[in-house]
């Protein structure tokens, strides 16, 4: 990721993806459940299905703000 042509986390660092919550990927609804946000705690990018977004959005924003 870059901000004004500079790498945000550095180009040659092991922390390239940063730490904590670095993104949220919303996917189409699946026929199976995705892991809860708590179960995805170790993942840099959290994944929600479209139908879960409304119920989980407040929790996502609370963690990011």
Residue 31's pLDDT is: 92
Question: Residue 16 above 70 pLDDT?
Answer: no
Q: Give the phi and the psi of residue 51 in degrees, each rounded to 5.
A: -70, -25
Residues 6+ apart with CB under 8 A from 17: 9, 44
Kindly report the pTM of this predicted structure: 0.61
Distance CA 47, CA 31 (A): 15
Provide the pLDDT confidence category of residue 65 given band limits of 50, 70 and 90: low
Sign of CA dihedral 49, 51, 52, 56: positive
Q: Please give the share of the chain, as a percent, with pLDDT higher than 90.
A: 22
């Amino acid at each position: 990721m870059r901000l004004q042509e500079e790498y945000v986390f550095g180009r040659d660092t092991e922390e390239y993806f940063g730490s904590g919550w670095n993104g949220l990927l919303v996917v189409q609804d699946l026929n199976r459940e995705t892991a809860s946000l708590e179960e995805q705690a170790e993942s840099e990018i959290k994944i929600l299905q479209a139908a879960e977004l409304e119920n989980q959005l407040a929790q996502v924003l609370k963690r990011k703000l």
